[in-house]
Amino acid sequence: MMMMGETWSQLGSLIATAMFLWAMFDQSFPHHLRSLILSHTKKLTSFVYPYIQIKFPEFTGEYLKRSEAYAAIETYLSSKSSSEAKSLKAVVVKDSSQPVQLSMDENEEVTDEFEGMKVWWGVMNIPPRTQSFSFLPQMEEKRYYKLTFHKSHRETVCGKYINHVLQEGKAITVRNRQRRLFINNPSQNWGGYRSTQWSHVTFEHPASFDTLAMDSKKKEEIINDLIKFSEGKEYYAKIGKAWKRGYLLYGPPGTGKSTMIAAMANYLNYDIYDLELTTVKDNTELRRLLIETTSKSIIVIEDIDCSLDLTGQRNKKKEQEKDEEKKDPASKMAKGEEESSSKVTLSGLLNFIDGLWSACGGERIIVFTTNYVEKLDPALIRRGRMDKYIEMSYCGFEAFKVLAKNYLDVDSHELFATIDHLLEETDMTPADVAENLMPKSQNEDAETCLKKLIEAIKTAKEEATKKAEEEARLKAEKEEKEKQEASQEDVKIDESLAKDVKENVVDVVKDDKTLGNEVKENGVTA
C-alpha cells in the first residue's frame, strides 16, 4: 500500500516538474526559437505517432464572420454528439425548425466512420494570451474543431470525407430551416447598419398539391417537372445552362396562381422572394437584388403586366409626356416625386432572367403571374426564359372534387352530377366555388353547402347569359350606328359631288356664253 502511495507521489512530482519546465520554456525562450524547437519535436514525434490532425477554426478572415465550414461540421456532428458525448452545450440556431441544437462541449471527442475508416472529432479552445483594447467585441476564447485520422487515410479524408461532411452539414441545415418569404426593401434603406436588400418573415402558408384545386393529371405533370429540376444539377452543367427554370402562371383572377406558388415552395422546401419591381430604381439595383438571393428559392413577380410598362408603349407615353411638358411647363413641377419612378427596362429584366447575371448561384425558379398573357412582350415569355406555361383556368369537375374533399370531407354525393353538368356550362373560379362550399355556421352540413353552390352556379350562369345578351345588343347597336353613319357619310359625299357637278356645269355654260358673245362681237366688227 505504501509502494502505491509513493508511486503516485513520484508521478505527481514528475507532472508538476514537467508543467513548470513547460511554463519556463513558453515564457523564457524567444518566439522564433520556440517555433524551431517545436517544429523539430513534431518531426521526431511523427516517426512514432502515425496520426494527422486538421483544424477548422470558428472564425476566419473577418473576425466577426463565422466560418461556414465550422457551422456545417457542428450541424453534421450534432446527432453523434448528443448520443456519444458526455458534456454537451446548446446552440441557438436562427430560422430553423429546431431552434436549439446540441453539440459537444470543449475538450470532448466523438468518432465517425466513412468507407471503412475511423476518424475522431474534437472541440478545442485557445484562451486569449493578452488583453487589448478594442471598440469591437472580443471573444474570450477561440474555438476550433480538430479532425484526427491515420496518415494512411490522408487521400480519402482530404479528397472525399471533408467534402462529404460539409455537404451533409449544409443539407441538414436546409432540411431543418424554416422557409422564409422575402420582400425587397427600397434602395434608400440599403445603407444603414445591418440593413439588407431583403426583409423576410417566416413562410407558413399551408398550401400543398394535395389541396390544390386542379386536374390531377396536370398536377402530376407539374410535380414531375419540379422533381426533374431539383435533381438536375449535373444535367444543367452538362448542357451548359444555368440551373434555373421559368414558370408562367396565367389565367383569370381567383384561379389559384398564388396558391400554386405556395404549393411549389412547400413541395421543394424553397424560400420565396417576392420581387416588387416598382420599388427598384434601375437595372443595377435589380442585379444587386438578384445577387442577394440564395439557392433553393423561388423568385416571384406577380401581375407582371401591371408591375411596369415593359413594352413599346412606354416610349409612346414618354413622348406624349414630353409634348405635354412643352405645351405646359408647369405640369412637370406638379408631378413632384413621379420623376423618381422605376427605370427598369425590358432589356434589364431579360438579363435578370436569362442573361449572364442569371447564372449567379443556382437552383432558382423564376415565376411570372399575369391575368392577361396577351399583354406581355413576346421577348419576355419566349421559350428558354419561361420554360413552362401553366394555365390556371376556371373550376372544372376534377378541381371541384378536390375542394369538396378539402372543405366538406366529401368524396361523392348525389348532387355531384348536377354540379358537374353546371360547371361544364358556366365559368366559375375555384375561389368562388370554395367560398360557397365553406360552411358559414355550425348548422350547415355538406348537402346544404352543395345546394348553396348549385344556386350560386345557376345565378352566375344567368348573369353570364344576361351579360352576353347585353354585349350582343350593344355590339348590334354599335354596328347599326356605324352603318347609319357610313350611309349618312355616303349621302353627304353624293350631295357634295352633285353640287360640284352642278357648279362645274354652270361654269361651263357661262364660259360658253362668254365665248359666244366674243365670237359674235368679233364677227360683227369684221
Q: Give me the torsion for CA of 367, 371, 374, 380, rounded to 10°.
A: -20
pLDDT of residue 265: 95
Q: What is the DSSP letter of 331?
A: H
pTM above 0.85, yes or no: no
Give residues with Cβ within 8 angstroms of 168, minimum separation 6: 72, 76
State the cell numbers at 462: 344567368
pLDDT of residue 419: 92
Residue pLDDT tens, the chain, 526 long? 445 556 666 666 766 776 666 666 566 666 666 666 666 666 666 666 788 889 998 887 655 677 888 889 988 988 887 777 777 788 777 766 677 777 788 878 889 999 889 999 998 887 665 555 555 445 556 788 999 999 899 999 998 999 999 999 988 888 888 889 999 988 777 766 666 889 989 898 999 999 999 988 999 999 999 999 999 989 998 998 889 999 999 999 999 999 999 999 999 999 999 999 888 888 888 888 888 898 899 999 998 888 766 554 444 444 555 555 555 555 554 444 444 467 788 888 887 787 777 777 788 999 999 998 888 888 888 887 889 999 999 999 999 999 999 999 999 999 999 999 999 988 999 999 999 999 988 888 999 999 999 999 999 888 888 888 888 888 888 888 888 777 777 666 666 766 665 666 556 555 555 656 655 565 544 3
- Using DSSP's 3-state secondary structure scheme, residue 94 falls into coil
Helix axes 397-408, 430-437, angle to 10 degrees: 30
pLDDT of residue 183: 92
State the cell numbers at 298: 423561388
CA atoms within 13 A on the CB side of 400: 28
pLDDT of residue 60: 74
pLDDT of residue 40: 62
Let me know: does 173 contact 75? Beta carbons within 8 Å.
Answer: yes
